[in-house]
Structure 1
């Protein structure tokens, strides 16, 4: 199946400053691609290049098999939902949604049919005669989405559409966007700095930093096998623990030695990983550290750790200890007996850990 969006060797410069560097991305029809990264990483610039709002400096960009590198935005068969909603304040909701179709000369009967369908999908039928000033933030975002949906484009583009909403409404709208994608089977490109949005919405994630793609993969691949320490630290809440350690060969496996809070070494045996350098960073997710005795399996290794902080969080309790000179977070069950200032036996699931090169941050295993 040919990619609906195919970006090859794309560069974007402002004068002598490189903003995007050798971007290569391809997505299939029906994919939900999320561009994620910290502020200034280039994700919105890349979206604007896809939309044609920014000219590219080098490389190529194709939509639906046609080269769109130098094509006007109106001829790219795309629809865009902006962070600021960008609604016409003097028009009603209905007119905001149908205005683009009216400009393109779409038949009135078709306009009415599409308005009816989209208003039903987004549950905004009671709002059609209101103006944007009479709507809440969530309602305005639905209208902006409705204006895009009536286009039936090859590609939907979303530029941080939920960033202006409160936390509860963000969750609700995220669910609605996910449902829309599943029901429509549309191809979407979505920009966010929120890694929870990226993980929950995407079929494919592009993690960016400094205008460079760090990793492309499914949410599971990004989360479980981060390509480097930046991805490991950025994707996940709480983030993956990154602990300096020493590794020595032990048959077909390795012995991992970590400095404990009091300076004494903690030794863990990883029977499934070999060939590690002496200096290594071990990456372990908080959920892969449990109270001793709560889980069983050959990959579990126990160590006594002093608990510094206990943070009840409803269904879970997060505890913080110090290993390798770093604060390390563990996600324990809500009924844990762990107490601040006291030692606690914790088990580490070494089948789930990642190893990284300290100097470069690149993944080893």
Structure 2
């Protein structure tokens, strides 16, 4: 089956400034691709290149097996949902949704049938006679999605559609978009700077930084096996702990020593057969550091750590210690008796550790 979207060696320059550098991305029909990265990384520019709103400076771009590199936006068989909703203020919701079909000369019966189907899918039937000014932010975003859905395009493009909504509504709309994707089996490219949104919605994530692809993978691959320090730090909340460490060889595996202020280093054994340089950055997610007795397994190593801070967070309690000159966060159960200033035995799951090169930040294992 041909990819629904195939981007090869794409470059985008503004004058002498390179905005996107050698982008290669391919997705299958039904994929939900999320472009994620910090502000200014080029994700919205890339979406605009896919939409045809920005010409590309090099490379090729195909949609549904057809070369769209120089094709105008209206002929690309795409539908776009913007952050700003972009609704016509003087038109009713119904007219906003069907306007594009009307312009394309779709007959009235088809318009009515499509409107009914989409309004039911998005649960906006009671809103059809209202104007955009009479709607909440979440309702406006539903209408904007409705206008895209009646197109039945090859590819849906979403540009930070939830960033104008409050936190609770964002979570609700995220669930709606996920349900919509599952119901329609639609092919979607979605831009966000919110990595939780990326993790929950995507079948495939592209992490961008400075116009360069850092990693492409499933949410699980990106989360569990980040390609470099940037991805490790960017994806996940709280972020992965990144701790400078020294590697020592011994007969049973790899020993990792982590310096501590005013105390001997913590020495942990990784039983995996790894070929590591002497100095590394050790990466471990907060949930892979537990309280002694709460984590079992061959790779688990325990060490006493001084608790600097305790942060209750409902279902979890975060405990912060200083290791290797960095603040290290452990995600413990809510009932922990940990208190600031005490020594607490923590269990480190060494089978989950990622190692990164100190100089380049690239993943080593």
1:71 aligns with 71
2:317 aligns with 317
SS of residue matched to 2:178? helix
Q: What are the superposed Cα offsets for residues 120-177 of structure 1, whole Å, 9 maximum, x if unpaired?
A: 0001000000000000000000000000000000000000000000000000000000
2:101 aligns with 101
2:283 aligns with 283
Q: Distance in 2 between matches of 1:262 and 1:349?
A: 25
2:156 aligns with 156
CA drift of 1:298 comes to 1.4
Q: Distance in 2 between matches of 1:328 and 1:124?
A: 46
Are 2:22 and 1:22 equivalent residues in the alignment?
Answer: yes
Give the 5 Å matches for 1:62-211.
62-211=62-211
2:55 aligns with 55
CA drift of 1:28 comes to 0.1
Q: Distance in 2 between matches of 1:293 and 1:5?
A: 49
Are 2:236 and 1:236 equivalent residues in the alignment?
Answer: yes
Stretches of structure 1 that go unaligned for 5 or more consecutive residues are: none
Q: Distance in 1 between matches of 2:218 and 2:118?
A: 29
Q: Distance in 1 between matches of 2:156 and 2:273?
A: 43
- Is 1:321–1:328's contact at 8 Å kept on the other side of the alignment? yes
Give the 5 Å matches for 1:308-347.
308-347=308-347
Q: Distance in 2 between matches of 1:282 and 1:2?
A: 40
Q: Distance in 1 between matches of 2:296 and 2:31?
A: 38
Q: How many residues align?
A: 365
1:226 aligns with 226
2:296 aligns with 296
CA drift of 1:337 comes to 0.8
CA drift of 1:251 comes to 2.9
1:8 aligns with 8
Q: What are the superposed Cα offsets for residues 305-343 of structure 1, whole Å, 9 maximum, x if unpaired?
A: 000010001100001000000000000000001100111
Stretches of structure 2 that go unaligned for 5 or more consecutive residues are: none
SS of residue matched to 1:19? strand
Q: Distance in 2 between matches of 1:253 and 1:44?
A: 45
Distance 1:252 1:58, change over 3 A: farther
Q: Distance in 2 between matches of 1:261 and 1:235?
A: 29
2:251 aligns with 251
**Residue range with higher mean Cα deviation, 289-298 or 197-206:** 289-298
- Is 1:261–1:305's contact at 8 Å kept on the other side of the alignment? no
Q: Distance in 2 between matches of 1:112 and 1:199?
A: 36
- Is 1:33–1:204's contact at 8 Å kept on the other side of the alignment? yes
Q: Distance in 2 between matches of 1:348 and 1:83?
A: 42
- Is 1:260–1:305's contact at 8 Å kept on the other side of the alignment? no
Cα RMSD (Å): 0.7
Q: Distance in 1 between matches of 2:296 and 2:135?
A: 53
Q: Distance in 2 between matches of 1:263 and 1:74?
A: 66
The normalised TM-score by structure 1 is 0.99
The normalised TM-score by structure 2 is 0.99
CA drift of 1:263 comes to 3.9
- Is 1:232–1:240's contact at 8 Å kept on the other side of the alignment? yes
Q: Distance in 2 between matches of 1:345 and 1:244?
A: 20
CA drift of 1:252 comes to 5.7
- Is 1:354–1:363's contact at 8 Å kept on the other side of the alignment? yes
Q: Distance in 1 between matches of 2:286 and 2:135?
A: 41
SS of residue matched to 1:198? helix
Q: What are the superposed Cα offsets for residues 91-131 of structure 1, whole Å, 9 maximum, x if unpaired?
A: 00000000000000001000000000000000100000000
1:212 aligns with 212
SS of residue matched to 1:264? strand
Q: Distance in 2 between matches of 1:130 and 1:9?
A: 46
